[in-house]
């Protein structure tokens, strides 16, 4: 039998359901791997060994008693630490929430547990999910398992690093402008952002409420399909969740792209400075054509303004959402002479530099004298970006672009905030338009670092996107020269 850690979540769940592997053995293997790699990788803020093993033993006992184990029964899963797990800390990697313990499960957490998943622990992130490298955490530094001198991407860097390092089989992240897809590209994983409203946000600490979505990191597209089937669907606790029925995503995965029209933004590839990334994406697009797809050149004329629009809209929403952290109701409290002084001292001491930067930017954009000039104009350009995608999808079924401008960079290499913001230049437009989108590993650069390609489809057409990605993935993994089945050496 293959090493347990080499299995994807779908295969592991099947073996546990068949009694070939116990949930306890799989959980212990993941925990042992985490303990062996954490000193170098630093993916977890909390590793709940006792709780995970107890849950695994319950699953094994239920299976032996003849009860249905659930589609994810016994699969060890890690959760980004801005998503609530009842009875466990939710810190958002910030001093502001150190000591805060969640009183309830997020809807996604509850659905994972109901499906039999074993929660291993909580993973590191950029503070309040604000960052592209996972270097903004106030609590620890997470490294890329492919090269520990490099970043794993952000903001969901800990969740990506855990799956890449084989210390979890699946993990959850949140994606506001690229915070699942960028780390997936940097760490050689499939990272999925559902269309806005496809997965409930209840129990996710809000950053930008019109953009935030929860999604999985996985080793395969079929793992994404399985986890999405478990998590997606209407939730009465989230008024923005969509009522559309949830298809059987794993059953709808395809093996070819016949009849699919794939839109390609030619200028993205032609102007990309990193020619290795461009070349890998070009090669993957050629494979899509060989699998039966029709390649259609499209334009997204307003996508060039995506970064500017995003950092006005997202910062404005963050300014509003983070006003609740006032040193009175929960979290950090820095005592001072009066209420206002306490508020100022708490927020000054509790938030890190990047969070403060975005709160100030957002507060200014919403101020009386600047609202129309900044937030109002950004909202109008966002509408134009949405229209660009509507027009593009009238000509194609999917859109393929690079996911990141370059592979993972070294820790500390990018210190300028504006340069860091440009890491998400290819992922942000899909977020602004509410599309479903993913990063798919398509190769490695000359230094052995993973490269991901970005695929997107209209919201609530997840089956279309997943089926196409699965077909391409199978073709890529069959190519021994690409060696996409290898794991990092960490």
Mean pLDDT, each 10-residue run in order, the chain (490 residues): 86 97 98 98 98 98 93 98 98 95 98 98 98 98 98 98 98 98 98 98 98 98 98 98 96 95 96 97 98 98 98 98 92 92 95 98 95 96 98 98 98 96 98 98 98 98 98 98 93
Catalytic annotation, pick one of 80, 193, 229, 260: 80
Tokens for 275, please give them. Answer: 């020619």
**170 beta partners:** 77
Catalytic annotation, pick one of 167, 179, 431, 439: 179
**Residue 155 is a catalytic residue:** yes
Q: 3-state class of 301 per DSSP?
A: coil
| Amino acid 489: pLDDT | 85
| Amino acid 27: pLDDT | 98
If one looks up domain 4-255+408-477 in CATH, what number appears? Answer: 3.90.1300.10
Cα gap 182→437, rounded to integer Å: 11
Tokens for 426, please give them. Answer: 């290819």
Cα gap 292→414, rounded to integer Å: 40
Q: Domain locations in the chain?
A: 4-255+408-477, 303-380
**Residue 241 is a catalytic residue:** no
| Amino acid 330: pLDDT | 85
**Residue 179 is a catalytic residue:** yes
Catalytic annotation, pick one of 94, 132, 155, 456: 155
Tokens for 140, please give them. Answer: 């620890």
| Amino acid 1: pLDDT | 39
Cis peptide before 147 (omega within 30 of 0): no
Half-sphere exposure of 225 (CA within 13 A, CB side): 22
């Amino acid at each position: 039998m293959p090493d347990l850690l080499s299995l994807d979540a779908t295969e592991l769940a099947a073996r546990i359901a068949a009694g070939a592997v116990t949930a306890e053995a799989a959980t212990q293997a993941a925990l042992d791997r985490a303990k062996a790699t954490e000193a170098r990788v630093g993916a977890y803020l909390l590793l709940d060994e006792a709780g995970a093993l107890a849950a695994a033993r319950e699953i094994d006992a239920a299976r032996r008693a003849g009860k249905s184990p659930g589609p994810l029964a016994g699969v060890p899963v890690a959760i980004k630490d801005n998503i609530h797990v009842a009875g466990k800390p939710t810190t958002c990697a910030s001093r502001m929430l150190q000591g805060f313990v969640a009183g309830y499960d997020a809807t996604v957490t509850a659905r994972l547990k109901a499906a039999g998943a074993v929660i291993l622990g909580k993973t590191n992130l950029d503070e309040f999910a604000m960052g592209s490298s996972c270097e903004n955490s106030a609590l620890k530094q997470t490294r890329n398992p492919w090269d520990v001198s490099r970043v794993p991407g952000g903001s969901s860097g800990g969740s990506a690093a855990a799956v890449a390092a084989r210390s979890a089989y699946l993990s959850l992240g949140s994606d506001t402008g690229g915070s699942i897809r960028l780390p997936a590209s940097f760490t050689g994983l499939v990272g999925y952002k559902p269309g806005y409203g496809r997965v409930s946000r209840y129990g996710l600490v809000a950053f930008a409420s019109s953009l935030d979505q929860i999604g999985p990191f996985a080793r395969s597209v079929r793992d994404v399909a399985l986890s999405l089937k478990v998590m997606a669907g209407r939730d009465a606790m989230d008024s923005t969740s969509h009522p559309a029925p949830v298809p059987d995503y794993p059953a709808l995965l395809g093996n070819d792209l016949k009849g699919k029209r794939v839109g390609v933004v030619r200028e993205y590839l032609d102007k990309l400075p990193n020619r290795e990334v461009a070349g890998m994406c070009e090669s993957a697009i050629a494979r899509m054509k060989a699998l039966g797809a029709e390649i259609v050149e499209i334009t997204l004329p307003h996508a060039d303004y995506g970064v500017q629009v995003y950092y006005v809209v997202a910062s404005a929403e963050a300014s509003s959402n983070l006003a609740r952290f006032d040193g009175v109701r929960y979290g950090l409290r820095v005592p001072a002479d009066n209420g206002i002084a306490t508020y100022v001292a708490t927020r000054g001491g509790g938030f890190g530099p990047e969070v403060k930067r975005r709160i100030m930017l957002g507060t200014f954009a919403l101020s009386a004298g600047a609202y129309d000039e900044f937030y109002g104009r950004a909202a109008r350009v966002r509408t134009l970006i949405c229209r660009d995608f509507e027009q593009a999808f009238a000509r194609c079924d999917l859109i393929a672009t690079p996911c990141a401008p370059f592979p993972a960079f070294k820790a500390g290499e990018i210190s300028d905030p504006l340069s860091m913001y440009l890491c998400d230049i290819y992922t942000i437009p899909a977020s602004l338009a509410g599309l479903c989108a993913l990063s798919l590993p398509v190769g490695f650069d000359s230094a052995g670092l993973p490269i991901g390609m970005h695929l997107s489809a209209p919201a609530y057409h997840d089956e279309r996107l997943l089926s196409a990605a699965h077909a391409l993935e199978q073709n890529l993994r069959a190519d021994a020269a690409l060696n996409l089945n290898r794991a990092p050496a960490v």
